[in-house]
Amino acid sequence: MTTRAEEQIRADIVEVGRRLYARGFVASNDGNISVRLDETRLITTPKSVSKGFMTPDMMVVVDYDGRKLAGERDPSSELPMHLEIYRNRPDANAVVHAHPPLATGFAVAGIPLTRAVLAEVVTTLGSIPIAEYGTPSTPELPEAVRKYIKAHDGLLLANHGAVTCCRTVMSAYFKMETIEHFAKISLVARLLGREHLLSREEVQRLQGLRGMYGIAAPAPVCSDPAEASGDQASCQILEAPESATERLVPDVPSLLRQASRDGEIRLTYRELTALIADAVKSLRD
Ligand SMILES: [Zn+2]
């Protein structure tokens, strides 16, 4: 028999799955969602089912060692990653994993979302690092996630996707939305060739606002890399310039202007060979 609270959790998981699918954050049967029921049980999405078309009765109840306790279907093979997050984050009651295409593009390119650019991202997530690649469905993935999850509510997974955790399944889903939105804005800014970063002072001010918005950040933001000493288990490392006028990320147009002023043109090996091939071809024609 399911309690009223459990019924609500099942309905919320169905709704989050529907939104993940509707927004294109998952394709086919990708992605998985889980929520703590109590100290001994959690409930999770089944394997081999599109997250856009689930019903509340499809969910699987498991213990914190991943053993199935109830449900007709089997849990996702990514369940060990969820279990690892619950072990490391007693404050987190829900985990959402998806493959949102822009965020996953950054994860494939090996570019973390760690620049201080948008105030709402600094206050709700801080930095979003990339957990090293681990073969899906093997212990490598939980191992890679363990290193960062204590200090971060959202991670990119190298060559794979993204994962978030929070107090409720809806808030974990909203963090996934924020990551994808941030990836989209970052991509546009980089294509336009300009990315103005928030200063360290502004980052510190935003850090102070986190409490006011009721966001229990897992770890403080370190905008000074020296103070963080590379420890991403206890500190969120955000790239932010020391002063509001300093630029950490040069503009692409100014780099190009600089190149033409110096009379120097820089080409990659591929661009150079393409130019030579073109020249040879036009000589022959
Ligand atoms: Zn996945």
216-265 confidence digits (pLDDT tens): 667 878 776 666 566 667 778 888 888 777 767 777 666 666 666 666 66
Average pLDDT of the residues of the chain:
89
pLDDT at 226: 65
Considering only residues 256 and 23, tell me which one the structure prediction assigns the higher pLDDT: 23
Please report the sign of the dihedral spanned by the C-alpha atoms of residue 65, residue 13, residue 159, residue 117: negative
91-95, 152-156, 209-213: least confident range:
209-213
pLDDT at 285 over 70: no
Give distance in angstroms: CA of 160 to centre of ligand 1: 6
Q: Report the candidate in 132, 158, 165 with the shortest Cα–Cα distance to residue 147.
A: 132
For range 109-126, the mean pLDDT: 93
As a whole number of angstroms, the distance between CA 158 and CA 112 comes to: 9
C-alpha pair distances (Å), 77 with each of 111, 140, 193: 27, 13, 41
How does strand 236-237 pair with strand 221-222? parallel
Distance 98 CA to ligand 1 centre (A): 6
Angle in degrees, 0-180, between the axes of helices 169-192 and 4-22, rounded to the nearest 10:
20
The one catalytic residue in 39, 72, 78, 132 is: 78
Give the DSSP per-residue string, 214-278: T---SS-EE-SHHHHTT-TTT-EE-B--SSSS--SS--HHHHHHHHHHTT-----HHHHHHHHHH
* In the predicted structure, residue 6 carries a pLDDT above the cut 80: yes
Of 22-31, 213-222, 223-232, 269-278, highest mean pLDDT: 22-31
User: What value does the mean pLDDT take over residues 190-213?
Assistant: 87
pLDDT digits (tens, 9 = 90+) for 118-160: 999 999 999 999 999 998 888 999 999 999 999 999 999 999 9
For residue 228, the model assigns a pLDDT of 59
Ligand 1 center–CA 91 separation, angstroms: 23
Q: Ligand 1 mean position to 141 CA, how many Å? A: 10
Contact 73, 60 (CB under 8 A): yes
What local confidence, expressed as pLDDT, does residue 33 receive?
98
Q: What are the residues whose beta carbon lies below 5 Å from ligand 1 (ion)?
A: 161
> What sign does the CA torsion over 177, 180, 183, 188 have?
negative
Helix (H) or strand (E) holding 237: strand 236-237
Q: How far is the CA of 26 from the centre of ligand 1 (A)?
A: 9
Instruction: Report CA(255)–ligand 1 centroid distance (Å).
Output: 38
Instruction: Please count the residues of the chain.
Output: 285
Q: CB of 205 within 8 A of CB of 244?
A: no
- At position 284, the amino acid (one-letter code) is R
78 is catalytic: yes
First to last CA, the chain: 80
153: Cα separation from own chain's centroid: 9
pLDDT-above-90 percentage for the chain: 64
